[in-house]
Amino acid sequence: MRREPAHSADDSASFSEGGRGRVTRRAFIGLCAATAACAAVGGAGKAFAGQGDLLRPPGGQDEALLHAACLKCDRCRSVCPTGCVSVATVDDGFLQARTPKLNFHRGYCDFCGKCQEVCATGALGAFDPACDKIGVAVVQRDRCLAYTLGCENCKDSCAFGALTFDGDRRPVIDAQLCNGCGACECACTALVYGTFSGGTRRGIVVESVSAYEAIGSTLVDGEGR
């Protein structure tokens, strides 16, 4: 049987009565202290809310709705057959912690719909791969092996006709057709075999729609990113 830790009466005082998810005085004070610490180094806003949009499972692209409805129950991650659903941490921002995010180094989204089916709150709503977007794939010129050694490992990965190779045998993304499924990033071997300490990007990275719009291209040099 699970044992509850002993608390003083003051420590266990709750800001909402009983039940799961209540905020204890200790937790609240801890959160305030963490936020104050972030403010002290000038990064409170970004540390609290996160640096930008995360890639969400299909139907979770409305950030306001997702944050309002998501119970952080982990069911979407647990049913994903490809393993591409991951969980955000405080490194993604305090508000994002334990919400679902996609990691295309582990798998890609084949739009099976299982995560949407198990989401009981509607945080993951409808999604049409033909016209909606998880994100947009962006080729990283500094990482893509087609720019150096030669590589075509991602060539046949796209089921949506968004990835072709040009006359120099380098990948080109059609942002209109790309829905951000992540199959190309998953297939990329640039960080699988050509990895180096601290590297996190592959030759293709799916960016959020807002990040892609800020970049304004499906090809970046990648330096400093």
Please tell me the distance from the alpha carbon of residue 34 to that of residue 48, in angstroms, as a whole number.
9
> Which span sits near ligand SF4 by CB under 6 A: 10-18, 24-32, 73-81, 88-96?
73-81
**89 in contact with ligand SF4 (CB under 6 A):** no
Given candidates 54, 88, 139, 181, which one binds ligand SF4 under the rule CB under 6 A? 181
**95 in contact with ligand SF4 (CB under 6 A):** no
Give the footprint of ligand SF4 on residues 19-48 (CB under 6 A): none
Given candidates 95, 160, 191, 222, which one binds ligand SF4 under the rule CB under 6 A? 160
> Which span sits near ligand SF4 by CB under 6 A: 4-12, 20-28, 89-97, 116-124?
116-124
Nearer residue to ligand SF4 within complex by CB, 25 or 155: 155
Please tell me the distance from the alpha carbon of residue 163 to that of residue 173, in angstroms, as a whole number.
5
| Phi, then psi, of 171 in degrees rounded to 5 | -70, 140
Beta bridge partners of 219: 139
Smallest CA-to-CA distance from 93 within 54, 134, 60 is with 54
Please tell me the distance from the alpha carbon of residue 225 to that of residue 223, in angstroms, as a whole number.
6
The least CB distance from residue 177 to ligand SF4, in Å, is 7
Helix (H, G, I), strand (E, B) or coil at 26: helix
